[in-house]
Every structure is written in C-alpha cells, then in structure tokens.
Structure 1
Amino acid sequence: MVIVGVGSDELKKIKEKHVLSLRVLKRTIQALPIHYYLENGQNPERIPFLKEPTVDEVIDMDSGSSIEEDIETNELKKKKETSILAAARNGITEMVDEKLNKFPMAIHDDTDEGKNIALWVVENRQPQIHQLLLKRELLTETMLQKLDKEGNNALHLAAKLWISSSSKEDEHKKKEASILAAARNGITEMVEEILNKFPMAIHDDTDEGKNIALLAVENRQPKIYQLLLKRELLTETMLQKLDKDGNNALHLAAKLGKNKPWLIPGAALQVQWEIKWYEYVKRTVPQYLLYQPNIDKKIPAQLFTEHHEKLVQEGGEWLSKTSESCSVVAALIATVAFATSTAIPGGIKESSGSPNLETYPAFDVFAVTSLVALCFSVTALFLFLAILTSRYHEKDFRSDLPRKLLLGLTSLFVSIASMLVSFCAGHFCVLKDKLKNKALPVYAVTCLPITFYAIAQFLLYFDLVRTYFRKVPRSSHKVVSL
C-alpha cells in the first residue's frame, strides 16, 4: 500500500504515536526516584502525585523537580518511611551503605512504630544489613536499647514469627509490577527502560511465583527473552525459579496456551514454531531442568507431548488437505506437460525426422520449458504423496514435513511457470509472423486463472520459507489480558 501511495499517512501516524509513547515512557521513568522501587522490586511504591499529570507535562519535564515538590508536600501531611529504612527492610545492602556514607545522620531514622534501623533489620530478618552495621560499629548500646511503641526490644522482635507483607493476601492482594506486565505483552522498550533505571526490578515475580524469565517463556515473547540473554540477566538462579505448580522455564515452554501465540497461519506451522521455541529455550537453560518433574510428576518432554497432541492432529489434517489440493494440480500439470512435450509444433520432416521449426528460437524455448514442466510437476506430485503417507509424528513437524511441503510447492510453482511459457512458445511457433502481436493479450488472459492460483499459494509459500529458515519464532503483538 505504501508503494502505490496508499496508507503512508496512516503509517506515519502510527510511527508518531510510537515515538511519542516512548518519549513519555522515558520521561516518566527518569522522573521516578530510585528509592521508590523497593521490596526487592516486587511491589513498587506509587509516587503520591497531588494531581494526575497530563501527557504534555510529562514530556516537558526536565528533571522531575515538580514531582519532588509534590512528594515533599505530601510527606509533611503524613510521615513516610525513609529510604534507608525501606532499603534495610528489603535487604538492599548497597543502598544502605551508600546512604550511610552520604548521610551519616540517617542512622537515627525510625518508623512510625518507633523502630530504628537496628530493630527494623532484626524484625525483617536481614542478616546482611545487621552484619554491615556491626562491621561499621554503628550498633551502639543506645541503638540496641531502643524500644518500639509496644515496648519490644531487638530480642523481642527476633523472637517473633516474621510474616512477610507480601504473603498477607487477605489484607493486600499483590499487584503485578509494570515490568512483568510489559514482559507478558512483549513491550521490549518498557522492559529495557525499567531495567536501566531500576535494576532490582529483575527480581519481580507474580502471585504464581513467575519471574520475568518464566513470563517471557510462557507468553512466547522471544524479544524479551533475547533481551535478557543479551544483557546477561538470565542467570542460573533466574532459570531455576519454579512457579507454585513446580514448573520451571522448560515446563512453561512445553505448555500450549489457549490462544495461538505465533503470527503464522496453519496448524502445521504452529507446531513447527512451538517445537522451535521449546528447543530454543532448552538450549539456554541448565540441562538438568530437562528431567526435573513438576508437582504432577511430569518432565517437560512429557508435558510438551500432552499439551500439543491436539495441535499435532490439527496440523496433520491441515497438511493432508493442502497436499491433496496441490497434488491434484500437480497431476493435472504433469498430464498436460507430457502431452505437450510429445506434440511437436509445426510437425517433423519426413526425410530426416527432425522438427520443421528446429531453427526457430521459440521452438527451443518450447522444448526446454515443456521438459522442465514435466519433471517438476512429477517431482511435486511425489513430494505431496510423501506427505500424505507420512505418520504425522510430533518430531516430523520440526523439519521433515515442512521441508517436503516447501520443496513440493517450489516444484509446483516452477512447473506452472514452465507450462505457461511452453504453451506460449509453442503457439507462437505456429503463428510465426501472423497475428503475433494480437496473440499476446490472448496469452495473458489464458494464463490468468493459473496465475491467480499461484499468487494465492505464494502467501503460504513465504510463510513456509520464513518458518523453515528462522531459528527463533516471531512473537505475536496481540496484547494478552492482565
């Protein structure tokens, strides 16, 4: 549509919206202070805006100073947990260390309950922060004698059973973090920007215990997965993560979602890309995960076979129907090509048996193309028959069946083109110099039906080429529900 001058304005509008959306995203993330993303990146705290900013206000931001003023105004109304206490509660040792280096007086911060940093790390079970304070000789007797509002000292808090705030589902339902929603929907720009500003966001996980790696695998988002591999964020610890059902990354790659995730038509090609995605993830995870059972005692290979059984059956039926229709055309072309190759235009010389038009250039074209049409049509027929007699086993969809279908369609298209050229060349030989200019429109009209069939099959052919030679499947841009 762009080539013929139609639709370029719509594409420009889409591109402009994409660029502006990315600018808004970058400005918004730049305006967020890093200490607002805490709790190990699981529940990022919302900035208490006094009013909702407009798009123009976000784009025109230079340093986020207006946001800081809103924060300071809001903190005057209600005391808020300081950043060093929040970092200590969540075990972010680097942030505590840097805060103490820059602001030594921050050691005297306390919470609304009257708990200083010493009581805070004891209550929240953060031994690394406690050891840091001991190492820096900051845990003085005065610090340890501090009592909270309920009269508890450090030993009282150590004796209490710690309950994580993230596990209190009755009080607060855990909300999916922005980076997880972006990874689920394949928004690479948002994931990259969030990781640049908040590296601790890599540890986000959902209510089901799935981190960003498991979400990218489950929702078939190769770009997100490749981004994590490129940035060397997919450590062995990340890939060893299990969800609440005991599934690792390979289990989730073996599962098939309700919606077909790949931008490719045909059940057979869906199976091929499912296999390629499973093998791609398998190459990136530790090998022992291949044999790790989930809560149902199933390894990834068993889960893949179980979840793709119906899709494999649909792929076999789709291949059968496609091969049947193409084999009929190939047989028809083979019959016509055989009859054409035996019928010599212009006849033969009785004395020598050689064609009367052997010196005519069009006759050479006719002789070569008729033979090519016959050979390739027979080849295509045999390839389609080989597909029809296949077992349609799961592993056959990886390369064997798509390769046969690709070669069969290639042979079919070559035979169709050769048959049309041989027909035109033979007829041209008969006409010679009579009406040869008027015959060209007739040739074009005669070739239209077969040409339309070839064009209709070209889309399938291009999809086959793309899926066969592409190592990593192309992700879908359809947004899934959050």
Structure 2
Amino acid sequence: MVVGVELRRREGMYVDGAKNGIQEIVEEILVVFPDAISCVDKEKHSALHLAVMYRREHVFNFIIQQMGVRKKLLLKVDKGGNNILHLVGRMPYQPQLEVVSGAILQMQRELQWYKEVEKLVSVQATTTMNRDKQTPMMVFEENHRRMIQSEEQWIVSMASACTVSTTIIGTIAFSAAIQVPGGNNPEGHTILYEGTDFTIFAISNAVALYSAISTFLIFLSIFTTRYAAIDFLYSLPNRLIIGLTSLFVSITSTIIAFSSALYLIFVQENKSLILPPVVIMSFGLVIVFAFLQFPLLLNMMKTTYGQSMFKLSNGRNSRKGIRF
C-alpha cells in the first residue's frame, strides 16, 4: 500500500513536472519508475500531451527521444477524443505566448509547434475528428482566429507606415539625383563631379533610391497576400525581414548621401565647422531607428532562420522540415 501511494505521488509529480516544464523532475522519475511514462491525468492527458498543450519544448524534446515510447504516446486520445494534434491546435496559456515578443512571432511559434507534431503522427491523425467533429486543423484555425486577425492588422499597419517612409525616401533620393550639389556648368556637367566625395554621394544616393523602391515593392506584396494561417510560418516573416532590412539600408544610404552633399557644399564655402553637428544629428536618426526596430528584426531572423527549438531523436535540428 505504501508503495502504491508512493507510485501515485511520483506519477502526480511526473505529470505536474511536464505541465510546468520542469525537465529534471520528468527525467528523474522516469529513471526510477519507467512505467510512469504512460500515466495520465483526470482528462486522460499524458505527459507528452501536457508538454504540447503548455508549450514545454524541453520536456517535449526529452519525451519523444525516449526509445520505444513515441508511437504509443502519440496514439493516445483524451476524454474529448482529441489526439495530440488536436491538443497542439488549442491556444496555450498567455504566459507561454509572451515567451516571444512581436505579434507575428507568436503566430509563427504556434505554427512551428503544429508542424512539428504533425511530422510525428500518422497521416490519418491529421484528418481524425474529435467528439466535436473537428479535425486538428479545424481546431487550430478556430482557436487562433482572433490571433490571426489581430496580427493581420498589426502587419498591415506596419507595412503602411513603412510604405509611406519609403515613398518619402525615394522622392528625396530621386530629387537629389536630378539636382546634384553644386549645380551644373554651362555645358550641363556637374561642377563638383571630380573627387571621391561626389562619388560617395552618387553611390549612396543610388543605393537609397533602389533600396527604397525595393522596400516599397516588398511591403506592397504584403498588402496583397491572402493572410492564411500558414503564411505566418515563413512567408510573412520572410517578407518583413527583407522589407525592414531594405528600409534600414535606404535610410542609412540617404543619411550618407545627405552628409556627402553637405560636405561638398560647405567645404567649397569654407564652412566645415557646420558639418560635425549636422552629421552627428543625421546618424543619430539611424541609431534611433536601429534601436527601435532591430530587436524585432533579430527575433524574426532567429525564429525563421535560426536553430529550431525542436530536435529529432538523433539530436539533429529539425528546422529544415518546418519551412514550406
């Protein structure tokens, strides 16, 4: 009887450890009681189910790497007839959504969970209906509908602001290309054509114009996307990464072109003392933009191109199978 009480206590600790993401407890109990791998809670949720429902990737990775238990656990269903793919389609608790910042990253993380579990189950599990007559994807879309709508508004607002910015930058760069610093001589040639300073101005101004046009086209493609749930996994993050990077390049190139133009003008008029404060203020704008946008950009690059939070049984990274 004492042994039975101790076993139930450890099984409860095992389930709670999986729910709360405490991998050490899960490992220790499985070493002492290997049969605990099959224990479930009142709703017939196994530890693997709970790891998926609470988005505990460390516990999830550990359990699926245990020899001989993966298939057995993946076939389990709860009282509502939900298999593990149905459960991953549910919304996790808000604290788990706050692990990543930025609206699009939350939806991307949810899709990464769904696609990873989908690779582990059989094809039949993707079309199996629960007691509510819903397939796993139907559960996912229903539970994440509000998140998709909210993030669509966020992306459209961001794309609108960036489009306006690139339009202004492109207009400035095009005007500077026509009305070059120093003006033209009677033959129509630029007076300040000779010298490295003018070359820097011309190249940076051209880069600013082309990158601004590229940014405009990228964000224009965001307006025309269908905003399906699957687009938040790779398509939309990829476009935002390219768009924000291109916008940063256009802003930086515009500042360089502006500084070069001031240098060409003021040096000719022996007013070089005006240049340092103007240049400092100009590049201060670039620093502000980088400070505000780089955290989001780096997070998107990390979750889209970086190492996956999931690992296969052989320990290799499974990011390759997530993109499509």
TM range (shorter): 0.7 to 0.9
> How far has the Cα of 1:379 moved from its partner?
1.2
**Mapped partners of 2:33, 2:256: distance in 1:** 64
| Contact preservation (8 Å) 2:54, 2:93 | no
| Contact preservation (8 Å) 2:159, 2:219 | yes
> How far has the Cα of 1:297 moved from its partner?
2.0
Partner of 1:216: 51
**Mapped partners of 1:347, 1:378: distance in 2:** 26
**Mapped partners of 1:280, 1:209: distance in 2:** 22
| Contact preservation (8 Å) 1:268, 1:314 | no
| Contact preservation (8 Å) 2:212, 2:246 | yes
Partner of 1:157: none
> How far has the Cα of 1:211 moved from its partner?
0.9
- State whether structure 2 residue 178 is matched by structure 1 residue 342: yes
Paired AA for residue 402 in structure 1:
P
Partner of 2:106: 270
**Mapped partners of 1:317, 1:268: distance in 2:** 11
Give 2:264's match in structure 1, choosing from 415, 419, 429: 429
Partner of 1:289: 125
| Contact preservation (8 Å) 2:128, 2:135 | yes
Give 1:443's match in structure 2, choosing from 279, 284, 287: 279
Partner of 2:67: 232
> How far has the Cα of 1:260 moved from its partner?
5.7
Paired AA for residue 39 in structure 2:
D
> How far has the Cα of 1:438 moved from its partner?
5.1
**Mapped partners of 1:314, 1:330: distance in 2:** 25
Paired AA for residue 458 in structure 1:
F
| Contact preservation (8 Å) 2:255, 2:282 | no
Paired AA for residue 390 in structure 1:
T
Paired AA for residue 202 in structure 1:
I
| Contact preservation (8 Å) 1:376, 1:415 | yes
- State whether structure 2 residue 223 is matched by structure 1 residue 385: no
- State whether structure 2 residue 245 is matched by structure 1 residue 413: no
**Mapped partners of 2:56, 2:49: distance in 1:** 10
Partner of 2:157: 321
- Greater CA radius of gyration, 1 or 2? 1
| Contact preservation (8 Å) 1:37, 1:44 | no
1:179–1:348 CA distance, 2 compared to 1 (3 A): same
**Mapped partners of 1:416, 1:37: distance in 2:** 69
Paired AA for residue 448 in structure 1:
G
5 Å-filtered alignment, 1:139-158, equals none
**Mapped partners of 1:214, 1:297: distance in 2:** 20
Paired AA for residue 308 in structure 1:
H
**Mapped partners of 2:2, 2:119: distance in 1:** 37
**Mapped partners of 1:252, 1:260: distance in 2:** 17
**Mapped partners of 1:224, 1:407: distance in 2:** 34
- State whether structure 2 residue 305 is matched by structure 1 residue 469: yes
Give 2:9's match in structure 1, choosing from 44, 47, 53: 44
Give the count of matched residue pairs: 308
- State whether structure 2 residue 230 is matched by structure 1 residue 395: yes
Using CA pairs under 8 Å that are at least 6 residues apart, name the structure with larger relative contact order, 1 or 2.
Answer: 2
5 Å-filtered alignment, 1:151-190, equals 177-190=12-25
> How far has the Cα of 1:217 moved from its partner?
0.8
| Contact preservation (8 Å) 2:204, 2:254 | yes
1:36–1:456 CA distance, 2 compared to 1 (3 A): farther
Give 1:310's match in structure 2, choosing from 146, 162, 173: 146
**Mapped partners of 1:340, 1:468: distance in 2:** 37
| Contact preservation (8 Å) 1:334, 1:378 | yes
> How far has the Cα of 1:187 moved from its partner?
1.7
Paired AA for residue 378 in structure 1:
I
**Mapped partners of 2:148, 2:309: distance in 1:** 18
Partner of 2:207: 372
Corresponding residue SS for 1:468: helix
1:233-283 CA deviation, whole Å, 9 max, x = no partner?
A: 642111111111111111101111342623223333222221111000111
**Mapped partners of 2:275, 2:175: distance in 1:** 22
Partner of 2:89: 254
TM-score (norm: length of structure 2): 0.87
| Contact preservation (8 Å) 1:276, 1:473 | no
| Contact preservation (8 Å) 1:333, 1:415 | yes
| Contact preservation (8 Å) 1:293, 1:299 | yes
| Contact preservation (8 Å) 2:63, 2:70 | no
1:325–1:418 CA distance, 2 compared to 1 (3 A): same
Corresponding residue SS for 1:392: coil
> How far has the Cα of 1:395 moved from its partner?
2.1
| Contact preservation (8 Å) 1:277, 1:472 | no
Identical positions, percent: 31
> How far has the Cα of 1:295 moved from its partner?
1.7
Root-mean-square deviation (CA), in Å? 2.4
